[in-house]
Structure 1
Amino acid sequence: MCAEARLIGELECSLETLQDRFNTWQTPVEGQREILRAVHRALLVDQRADQAAKVMTALLGTYTEKDAATARDDAMECVRTAVVDPKSFSFDHLERLSAVKALKTSDPLMFTALELFISGTLKDYQQFVTKNPKFVTEHLKVDETILLKKIRLLTLMSLAEEKNEISLDELAKQLDIHTDETLEEFVIDAIQVNAISGKINEMARTLVVSSYQHRRFGSEQWILLEKRLKVLIANLKQTHNNVHEVNQKIDTL
């Protein structure tokens, strides 16, 4: 009803709330799937693609290896929603879902598209579109300019993972952007959507990257995060000790 009245924003439909309702109502699995599909459709109509993608991921989480083969339509929609969402840059978690794994057999083209956005580059995307010219409009159902921007952002993130200082000439070549003004605008957009953080050094003609989003988040990234958290905790302890020493000196005055 909220979806039809365009009032989905008035309905609390976070995954935590939905799961709480399912537990309270003892909703059977198929009933949960129907509700999640309805919420997903409503969120898309309300232009909340990022939340809709999370709902579809939760929906696929209700499938196991036993019934993953029956989830083809849901898996395809989950991949499609995630890929076209302008705020999503990491998709490797989808690859671990049984229902998505089954696409490798039931819809290899959609699975290939997912792998492309997990680890591919602009060059890989261009080759894919050349071989499958109708895939973007007929299967992903999105304007190709949106995906071009998305894959360029992902390519930039991959470059940032390799080195924190990238020459503008190399960047222009990898992103297939041929004017400095357009390239600078693209970098600004990338920073605004938090794909990377950094700044352009006009004199050296380089992009200096201070941080970036990871396209994959596996054991290597968890280890790196742990190291950074340990450094942060150590710095906070040192700051606390310094403040304590200053307070003691003040008390003795």
Structure 2
Amino acid sequence: MAIDPSADIHPSAIVEDGAVIGPGCRIGAYCVIGAAVELGPRVQLMSHVAVAGITRIGEDTIVWPFASLGHIPQDLKFRGEPTELVIGARNRIREYTSMNTGTVGGGGVTRVGDDNLFMMSTHVAHDCIIGNNVIMANNATLAGHCVVEDFVVMGGLSAVHQHVRLGRGAMIGGLAGVVADVIPYGSVTGERAHLMGLNLVGLKRRSTSRTEIHELRAAFAALFKGEGTLQSRVEAVSAAYPENPLVREIVGFITAESSRSFTLPPG
């Protein structure tokens, strides 16, 4: 066990031999820290937090009571293989959130980036890859092998099917069930989610220029309301807006390899 002398650990907390506790960490009452856990500098576990498995938590992350991090996947194929959960810096992980380690079949690692907010009772399943500045509202859930790119917002009680990709800046409406990939900056709603437009609010909050947004809206209309095959529409949009980074990002997302289809407009 390697505990930095500056760490503050409540007497009722259990820290197993082998755990690494970084400088300035604060571990509250009744937390349980497994032998293969590593906490970076200034990580704070409020109380009643359980961290297990091969789990690393990055600096300045705060975890609220009753969160469960690094326990085994909810996958019947799992046979106890040594897999990991890696959580980045400055995350806010609220009450009752659960994050599982990966599986051998999914690459062995569940990975969470930096500066994310996981509200109460959110779930990150095995082998998910989450970027930076993501918000998962209360009770939002990710099935296994999902990819969530930067600046995605998931509304309360939304759920994402396994292997689905959520593109950068996408907005998932509350209660939506997402069973297919969502393009970058897309906005989806509905019991079985449909693509309703672009997440213009998110783009404006990040100071995206009016020209880029105007071109993106035109590209969206051409891609999803135009004539011809999707391939021909993608080629036309790519040629029409070669300098727009947002359009290029959507084109790259659509043409990338995926095991799922795309979330489309209704009708």
- Mark the structure with the bigger radius of gyration: 1
* TM-score normalised by the chain length of structure 2: 0.28
Structure with more contact order per residue of length (Cα contacts < 8 Å, sep ≥ 6): 1
Q: Where is the helix percentage greater, Structure 1 or Structure 2?
A: 1
* TM-score normalised by the chain length of structure 1: 0.29
